Amino acid sequence: MNRTHQNVFLSFFTLTVMSQLELLWPHPTSPYVLLGISERADIGEIRGAFKRRALETHPDKCGPTAGESFLLVKEAATLLLDPYQRSQYDQLRLQTTVRLTGEVSDSYRLGEDFDLTAEETGYQVYQRECRCGGLYEVIVFEGEKRTVVRCECDCCSLTVEVDLSAS
């Protein structure tokens, strides 16, 4: 694998992981935190935590403001009680934790600031040179639902935000 292919692979991997994670769990607080359990909790503990948290947050008992957190608790339990979704979530989160922390240094528009460098079945690859000489790369998927993505330079530590909607 030469450097360019490796970079394409790495950013494709990161973006794929991030969008999958957002589809699976589009909330800032993790389902484990919402249920108040450890990431090693077994199915019995998850069920117990759901019942407890459902009682604590149910709108009938806690007034109208609690409605939203009750729905979140329900959503968290639904995700974690499905062994397939849970292991998918755990793996995806592990892979993205490190990469989501970078501060955004610039904002760009995909259509104006990036060049289309490859067009494949199901996705397109756009690139822009970073001021360090490295590359920013955005993969846009067919039927793309994201409007803004974050993207890391492959060389320095800069992270930029790219608006996909403006073309």
Q: Which is nearer to Zn ion, 93 or 99 (CB)?
A: 99
Q: Shortest distance, CB of residue 156 to Zn ion, whole angstroms?
A: 3
Q: Which is nearer to Zn ion, 3 or 145 (CB)?
A: 3
Task: Please tell me whether residue 135 binds Zn ion under the rule CB under 5 A.
Answer: no
Q: Shortest distance, CB of residue 150 to Zn ion, whole angstroms?
A: 14
Task: Sort 94 into a burial class: Cβ within 10 Å, 0-12 / 13-18 / 19+.
Answer: exposed
User: Which contacts of 127-132 are long-range, i.e. CB under 8 A and separated by 24 or more positions?
Assistant: 130/155, 130/156, 130/158, 131/158, 132/156, 132/158
Rounded (10°) CA dihedral 35, 39, 42, 43: 40
Q: Of 132, 141, 165, 166, which one interacts with Zn ion (CB under 5 A)?
A: 132
Q: Of 73, 110, 140, 153, which one interacts with Zn ion (CB under 5 A)?
A: 153
Task: Please tell me whether residue 104 binds Zn ion under the rule CB under 5 A.
Answer: no
Q: Of 124, 134, 150, 163, which one interacts with Zn ion (CB under 5 A)?
A: 134
Q: Which is nearer to Zn ion, 48 or 134 (CB)?
A: 134
**Which tokens hold the place of 38?**
């450890």
Q: How far apart (Å, rounded) are the C-alpha atoms in residues 67 and 42?
A: 27
Q: How far apart (Å, rounded) are the C-alpha atoms in residues 14 and 20?
A: 10
Q: Return residues touching Zn ion (CB under 5 A).
A: 130, 132, 134, 153, 155-156, 158
